[in-house]
Chains A and B, each alone.
Chain A
Amino acid sequence: MTTASAGAHEAHEHTHYTTTGLDNKKIAIWAFIGSECMLFGSLISTYLVYKGKSVVGPFPHDAWTSPAGQLFKPILNIPVTSASTFVLLMSSLFMVLALAAVENKGKPGYEGWQGSSKVWLAATALAGAVFLGFQAYEFTSFVHEGLTIRTNLFGTSFFTLTGFHGTHVAVGVLWLLSLLFIDIKRGLGPRDTINVDICALYWHFVDVVWIAIFTLVYLIK
């Protein structure tokens, strides 16, 4: 835990005894993720329970003609969302590289931009922001096509589920940018590993949730 580079304050902080030898933050973030599983579990279950129960369209996978004779295409745009999913999955890879760069700062193999935590933190945050951009585009186009959160049960449960996920991504982006800011200001090193590690765990969790949402909402008809 303690390294030669650790300042007096941090060195002192690390002499705190813990039963497991793990940092408190690591245990807390896992408890938090367990709790979040139940939140997303409830949101996803609600979406699935209400699947196909909408009284009026537009529908996710089927066309719909309104009583007024207007035709609505199936509303989900799977190719576009596949692209944003790919970007989000890549962000997890960037996150792994960022954590490795922080953990191994100054070690051989971590020179140049490939070993720079700033580059990979920025890349992760950027990928998250791009994902959010895709989501903003998706939401806006749905509204233009006539689906709002009030239109039907699909709109209600879809916007709530994906909106909650998007909010989690946004919080993650803010967290990553905060770490990037500290990295630029004073440089993150091995003694900061735990702080980047818990952010990474959160980020991967949010990513995994999206895999579930993408499969259950978009891919399965």
Chain B
Amino acid sequence: MATPATTAAHAPGASEDTGLWSWLTTVDHKKIGILYLYTALFYLMVGGLEAALIRTQLAKPNLSVVSAETYNQLFTMHGTTMVFLVVMPLSAAFFNYLIPLQIGARDVAFPRLNAFSYWVYALGGLFITLPIFFGVAPNGGWFGYAPLSGPTYGSGFNMDFWVLGLQILGISSLAAAFNFITTIINLRAPGMTLMRMPMFTWMSFVVQFLVILAFPVITAALFFLQFDRFFGTNFYVVQAGGDPLLWQHLFWVFGHPEVYILILPAFGLVSEVLPTNSRKPLFGYNVMAYSGMMIGFLGFGVWAHHMFAVGLGPVADSIFSLSTMLIGLPTGVKIFNWIATMYGGSLRFPASMKFAIGLIAMFTIGGISGVMHSSPPSDLQQTDTYFVVAHFHYVLYGGAMMGIFSGIYHYFPKITGRLMNERLGTWHFWLNFIGLNLTFFPMHFSGMLGMPRRIYTYDAGQGWELFNLMSTGGTYLLIVAGLVFAYNFFVSRAKGAVAGSDPWGAPTLEWSIPSPPPDYNFAQIPEVTSRYPLWDLKTPDRTAGLEHSHGDAGAIAAAHAVPVHEETERRTAKELGIPMPVNTIKPFMVALGIIVMFSGLIVLHAGKFPLAMATMLGGGAFMVASLYAWLTSPLE
């Protein structure tokens, strides 16, 4: 065995097999997490390019960089890509990689289902993205409002890809959520009570419940739209008595919890980064967990604030206005708890910490403009203007993406065994911070001056020119920031300083094992006695005042649990006698069958009935056969 310095990337215990086939067949939650990470970063590039084209078109009045039709496709795909193909999967990358490590498990509850989720996402992403190369990308907005997305006004193939693509991506999210709920409830190490879970796992836990309760609603709404488009039903057909508002209600009953699905994982990540780099326990842990639950719960009761302009009447407007203001409270609690975590701490500012503090500041700006929207009279002035665009980019880019960048800098050493370059990280942070404010802050003004969303160009003389030019310049700066990040990512991955198991002096279980972790994660399942097991071990004075338990896990019949310790030895699963799930291609095949089946409907729209039936039945049969093969073969 060589020294750790030369084996960071290919250490024993980590999988030796790194060929293409090993990635297609892997069921290891860490490798699947890495697949999610790379795929989502690829789509981040795609979505970023779409944004760059949008902003180039809007840089000056009456430009014609792209046509109006192309512009519709670009803003639709920018929103759809960033929500479903970037932020959710980046969160999923962290769920996959971190949840089992943080709770002291060897894998997720259903490793093959996990692989299935990834492949449905990867193939579904292609399904919804590739049409842009043929000029038939979705063009009805990421919210797909009926009847614009219906068969009458959206008669092309464009929205077919959107409806079916979202349906496919929903399968992926739901399967993953069932998996993670089971994992968190059932695979926690002895002594890891719910109130000892790391805050990232807590926020992920809340998110999975949002997914399983919100996604079925859009599934139903999409089925209605699908039936309207393909089978001539009347769900959103006004002439038949149908009500397009049904779509808006169903979409936002999903859509508002969805924004918490996007932001809570980022909140979880910074809740790991801030205490570690303040060298102080998270302030108000219990309240942080409860406010996460509260956000999740209230998130289902605020959807109609997206619909104030519809005219729901004073009673409905008042109720949704109040519930929206109410949801600001648990969110504000989180902001203050993060600040209080830093207060009095021994602060350190690696790139991850800069991004975490950036999230607090930027999300607060987005949060405040959000509270402005909660008032219907104010919202009526702002709705459908760039002010709203400014608001949700502050929460989603300034919030979710900053949090995710923070998480990438923090966990990169765990995933790759090497540290990212801090100097480039600092450049990335400042370019990103200035770029995002330059892009999105002027949108508040162009919005207040009445610039509508989704227009492909505008006339001069309305006071919008300067603000638009600033936004476009900011976007280019964000692209430079992205390039710095990409360079740092790949160079550090190959040549970065070797990290060791715990480069940040962090408190939670994932840092007790080697970086990158061996296939089986923990050679011995740890027995946890507090929230910060590694600080108990290394800096006990930091956690002396917190609740601990001693030896109570005896009641838990755990066969091999041992007190938390740092694992440095690397041996293979076979040497340790740990049974590992075997790699299998079957989840990939089931996912492929699903995609083929859905593609049949596109063929149906093209009017080729026999071919459509053949595609659907063929894909369906392939899916069912692969599923039976999967279910009848043993896991290990």
Contact = CB atoms under 8 A, between A and B. Distances in A.
Are A and B subunits of one complex? Answer: yes
A18 B186 contact: yes
Given A27-B181, A39-B216, A156 B233 contact: yes
* Residue with the greatest number of chain B CB neighbours at <10 A, chosen from A17, A22, A38: A17
B235 interface: yes
Contact of A153 (B185, B186, B223, B241): B241
B54 to A, nearest CB: 33
Nearest to A9: B634
A150 B635 CA distance: 46
B242 A50 contact: yes
A24 B240 contact: no
B543 to A, nearest CB: 23
A178 B234 CA distance: 37
Given A27-B182, A42-B250, A160 B227 contact: yes
B325 interface: no
Nearest to B233: A156
Contact of A149 (B221, B233, B525, B557): B233
Given A42-B217, A149-B233, A160 B223 contact: yes
Given A22-B186, A150-B232, A54 B241 contact: yes
A36 B216 contact: yes
A22 B188 CA distance: 13
A27 B192 CA distance: 18
Interface string A34-49: 1110110111001001
Contact of A35 (B174, B227, B232, B634): B174
Contacts of B188: 19
Contact of A42 (B110, B192, B221, B559): B221
B148 interface: no
A32 B174 CA distance: 9
B376 to A, nearest CB: 23
Interface string B526-557: 00000000000000000000000000000001
A158 to B, nearest CB: 11
Contacts of A50: 241-243, 246
Contacts of A164: 223
Interface in B118-167: none
Interface of A is mostly: helix
Contacts of A156: 227, 233-235, 240, 242
B213 to A, nearest CB: 5
B220 interface: yes
A19 B185 contact: yes
Contacts of B219: 39, 42
Contacts of A17: 190, 525, 557-559
Given A24-B186, A53-B241, A34 B212 contact: yes
B177 interface: yes
B187 interface: yes
Nearest to B624: A174
A153 B109 CA distance: 43
A27 B177 CA distance: 12
A34 B241 CA distance: 31
A164 B222 CA distance: 14
Contacts of B628: 178
Contacts of B579: 12
Given A15-B559, A152-B240, A34 B234 contact: no
Contacts of A28: 109-110, 178-179, 181-182
Main secondary structure of the interface of B (DSSP, over half): helix
A157 interface: yes
A208 interface: no
B525 A31 contact: no
A4 interface: no
B489 interface: no
A27 to B, nearest CB: 5
A20 interface: yes
B21 interface: no
Contacts of A149: 227, 231-233
B178 A42 contact: no
B240 A153 contact: yes
B216 A35 contact: yes
B409 interface: no
Interface in B551-580: 557-559, 579
A68 interface: no
A55 interface: yes
B178 A31 contact: yes
Nearest to B559: A17
Contacts of A12: 579, 636
Contact of B241 (A13, A43, A55, A150): A55
A140 to B, nearest CB: 17
Nearest to A36: B216
Contact of B177 (A15, A20, A31, A152): A31
Given A17-B525, A149-B233, A46 B224 contact: yes
Contact of B187 (A19, A43, A55): A19
Nearest to B217: A42
B212 A152 contact: no
A42 B241 CA distance: 19
Interface string B237-253: 00111110010001000
A160 B187 CA distance: 39
A149 to B, nearest CB: 5
Interface in A187-201: none
Interface in B169-200: 174, 177-179, 181-182, 185-188, 190, 192
Contacts of B235: 46, 153, 156-157, 160
B215 interface: yes
A142 to B, nearest CB: 15
Interface in A52-85: 53-55
A24 B525 contact: no
A54 B110 CA distance: 46
Contacts of B227: 149, 156, 160
A160 B226 CA distance: 11
Contacts of A178: 628
Given A28-B182, A38-B216, A49-B246, A18 B187 contact: yes
A52 to B, nearest CB: 9
A35 B176 CA distance: 13
Contacts of A13: 635-636
A27 B205 CA distance: 14
A19 B227 CA distance: 43
A20 B243 contact: no
A19 B100 CA distance: 13
Nearest to B525: A17
Nearest to A150: B232
Contact of A32 (B178, B190, B233, B634): B178
8 contacts: A19-B192, A27-B186, A31-B178, A31-B212, A42-B250, A50-B242, A149-B227, A156-B234
Given A24-B182, A55-B239, 12 more contacts: A18-B186, A19-B186, A19-B188, A24-B109, A31-B212, A34-B213, A39-B217, A46-B246, A149-B233, A150-B233, A153-B242, A156-B242
The 7 residue pairs across chains A and B that have the minimum distance between CB atoms: A42-B220, A39-B216, A38-B216, A35-B212, A156-B233, A24-B109, A53-B241
